[in-house]
Structure 1
Amino acid sequence: MFTPSRDQARNFLFDTWAKHQAGHPLTDLEKLVFSVIARHPEYHSILEDRERYAERDYPPELGETNPFLHLSMHLAIEEQLSIDHPHGVRALYETLCQRLGDEHAAQHETMDCLAEMIWQSQRNRLPFDSGRYLDCLRGKAGLAD
């Protein structure tokens, strides 16, 4: 499993955007990253200014969305969907897409569940709870008991 540092992850986003802007061919992974970046024009100016934003922190108490975390969460969801892990996430996501009529909105709803489960896991120093994650998605998809 590849677990990049904060700097490596941010540089990969900056580099992918720069390659696209320069018209250079992208690898398959860079194409996936670019597809996520393309859906977020509000972050394009950030990715064009590495010197200003590479080291910037986004503390939650300031109420700003961390663009690097946001894009990385989309990528994590794309990976989960591609391998259906945890098992059933793809079907729940597809149900959510149908319910909302918008894949990007469904990813943001999925991201809410993913972020909550990661926060709970870190806060309680416990492994990621896939069952609770899927339960959260069932609720968002309107399938909760």
Structure 2
Amino acid sequence: MFDPSRDQARQFFVDSWRKHQNREVLTQLEIIAADLVAHHPEYHGLINDPDGVQKDFSPDDGQINPFLHLSLHLAIEEQLSINQPPGIREAFEHAQARHGDRHAALHDVLECLGETIWRAQRDKAPLDGKAYVECVWKRAGS
């Protein structure tokens, strides 16, 4: 099982974006990562900064961690590809139809995933896949 360090996970996005910009051959996962970066132009300065992987982002300062955001997007893409937890793909498709925009629907899912992770950490419990999918359905208006 692949278990990258914080810096390795961040560097993966940096390298994927660089390879994309240089029109180099990318793996399937790098293609997804580069596409995610492309959908977040507000992160391009950070991704192109050689010291970007070392930066700290504190919620206490009101900062959103761009690498965490991109990593959650990547996790959601994997979940959708295998429909895990069961029902996530259908809930996402409903959200996408409601929004008329794939990226906006992904952000609904991302909010629910973040909440699910937070609850699991707070409660020292496993992730509740059923509650996660239900959250997506609720955000999608069902």
- In the other structure, the counterpart of 1:38 is 38
TM-score (ref. length: structure 2): 0.95
In the TM superposition, 1:58-137 aligns within 5 A as 58-137=57-136
Match of residue 7 from structure 1: 7
Displacement of 1:123 after TM fit? Answer: 1.3
**Any runs of at least 4 consecutive aligned residues in structure 1 with deviations exceeding 6 A, and if so which?**
none
Superposed CA offset, 1:97-140 (max 9, x none): 00111110100011000000001111111000111111111111
Amino acid at match of 2:24: H
For residues 45-104 of structure 1, give each alpha carbon's deviation from its aligned partner in whole angstroms, at most 9, with x where no partner exists. Answer: 1111122x2111111111121110011111011000000000100000000000111110
**2:108 aligns to what SS in structure 1?**
helix
In structure 1, the gaps of 5 or more residues are none
Residue number in structure 2 paired with 1:28? 28
Shift of 1:23: 2.5
Counterpart amino acid of residue 124 in structure 2: R
Percentage of identical aligned residues: 49
* Aligned-partner Cα distance in 2 for 1:29–1:129: 26
Measured in 2, the distance between the counterparts of 1:123 and 1:67 equals 22
Partner Cα distance (2:84, 2:3) in 1: 17
CA distance in 2, matches of 1:54, 1:138: 34
Amino acid corresponding to residue 13 of structure 2 in structure 1: L
Normalising to structure 1: TM-score of the pair? 0.93
RMSD, aligned CA: 1.0
Structure 2 alignment gaps of length 5 or more: none
